[in-house]
Structure 1
Amino acid sequence: MKISAKLAFFTLVSTLAYLALAVFGLGGLAAFFSHLPLVVIALATLVMAIVSLFSEGNLSSGVREDRANRWVLPVFGVLGLLSGYLPAYTDRIDFWTFGGEGVRWLGALLFIGGGALRMWPVFVLGKRFSGLVAIQPGHRLVTDGIYRTLRNPSYLGLLINGVGWALAFRSGVGLLLVALMLIPLIARIRSEEALLHAQFGSEYEAYCAHSWRLIPGIY
């Protein structure tokens, strides 16, 4: 697979910029790298960014798209920027924080685990994985493997990843931002499921009957 130089450059710059928000929020490089769990998170973020370059995920509108759902993209963007900075900042000023290094390590583990769960489906779906709510050419319904009992594993991974990031900074504000993320996320899930139902009909209904939407055993 040939990796676009422009995509690689954009991915690297945006990843470093996101980490820079946290470094700035915490008060600088010395403060950030004085916590080993945060060093682990920084390295994991860079590794996941590099790994993502080898996936076939895209922003294609495919053959059929629910354009009405595009409003969630800027909302995700704003919440993402706030999450990059505010948890670190509240950690620095000790506002609504809790725990110590143990909480940071728990956060680092959840961040890595959530990131892996977030990216795994991207590789499973390949070109069918789009940042837009869209049906891709040759789209078929995947109901085995990681999708056997869970219809949106990547979104669950995103939430776990976000919780991990918040805990790494011991931040109650960070957890609140993850909770707010549920609003556009659930709206996006509903749009995707409506589109899949329209595309696959009874096949999708049968799949929904024996699988969970986001959290196994709960939702």
Structure 2
Amino acid sequence: MTPLALFTLLVAAVAVERLIELAVAQRNAAWAFARGGVESGRGHYPPMVVLHTGLLAACVAEAFWSGREFDARWGLAALVAVLASQALRWWCVATLGPQWNTRIIVVPGLSLVARGPYRWLRHPNYVAVALEGAALPLVHSAWITAAGFTVLNAVLLLGFRIPAEERALSAAPAASAAR
């Protein structure tokens, strides 16, 4: 199997993982809403979905159309970073349990989670997203996609997502946002 075919399978595996995330998020949203959860930041969610879907498509498209060869030194290092990002993401999911979500949903009365990776970072899931978004394209030298996603993701996270989450948390003092 060619490196490009293997890379395409890797991106497909990440796509399947994202679909699993969405199923978990949907289940967790039902849990949160049943307990009076309030959603915030809906306006930036569709662009976030487009950006993350675009990342997967652009990874394969750039690798295919650029004609760049697989560079094992960079590719394997990037693959390790992708795997680390997945481990961090699922550590976040496991730590937050039913409070984790791809949407911002605050359940009144719940405390902020301060265990797992949240002991050290306020938004570890976003670290996982940023690492994966930069590393996944670099597995097959799709550096334009890596750079583009990194910039757009930074704008989305720093300009919209994190401020919306922080506003939601401060509006419900004893609450924990599903992150």
Q: Please state which band the TM-score falls in when normalised by the shorter chain.
A: 0.7 to 0.9
Distance 1:98 1:185, change over 3 A: farther
2:29 equivalent to 1:59: yes
Alignment of 1:28-47 (within 5 A): 32-33=4-5, 35=6, 38=7, 41=10, 45=14
Equivalent residue for 2:60, pick from 88, 99, 104: 88
Give the distance between the partners of 1:85 and 1:43, measured in 2 at CA.
10
Helix, strand or coil at the partner of 1:169: coil
**What's the offset of the Cα at 1:39?**
7.3
Whether the aligned pair in 2 keeps the contact of 1:104 and 1:169 (CA below 8 Å) is: yes
Question: Residues of 2 paired with 1:198 and 1:123: CA distance?
Answer: 25
Gaps of 5+ in 1: 1-28, 205-219
For each residue in 1:78-121, what CA deviation from the matched residue of structure 2 results, as whole angstroms up to 9, or x when unmatched? 112221122322222327x6972221112211111111111211
Structure 2's unaligned 5+ residue stretches are none
Alignment TM-score, normalising by the size of structure 1: 0.63
2:90 counterpart residue number: 119
Q: Tell me, in whole angstroms, the C-alpha distance in 2 between the residues paired with 1:53 and 1:78.
A: 14
| Deviation at residue 134 of structure 1 after TM alignment | 1.7
**In 2 relative to 1, CA 191–52 (structure 1 residues): closer, same or farther, beyond 3 Å?**
closer
Q: Structure 1 CA distance, aligned partners of 2:69 and 2:172?
A: 47
Following TM superposition, where does structure 1 have runs of at least 4 consecutive aligned residues deviating by more than 6 angstroms?
A: none
The SS at the match of 2:114 is coil
1:185 matched to 2:168? The reply is no
Distance in 2 between residues matched to 1:53 and 1:89, nearest whole Å: 24
Output aligned runs, 1:1-219, within 5 Å: 32-33=4-5, 35=6, 38=7, 41=10, 45=14, 48=17, 58-60=28-30, 62=33, 63-67=36-40, 69-94=41-66, 100-136=71-107, 138-175=109-146, 176-186=148-158, 187-200=160-173
Partner Cα separation in structure 2 for residue 98 and residue 31 of structure 1: 8
CA contact (8 A) 1:41 1:108 kept: no
Aligned residues: 170
Q: Could you say if the C-alpha distance between residues 41 and 109 of structure 1 is closer, same or farther in structure 2, counting changes exceeding 3 Å?
A: farther
SS of equivalent residue, structure 1 residue 200: coil
In the TM superposition, residue 168 of structure 1 has moved relative to its aligned partner by 1.1
- Structure 2: which amino acid aligns with 1:65? V
Normalising to structure 2: TM-score of the pair? 0.76
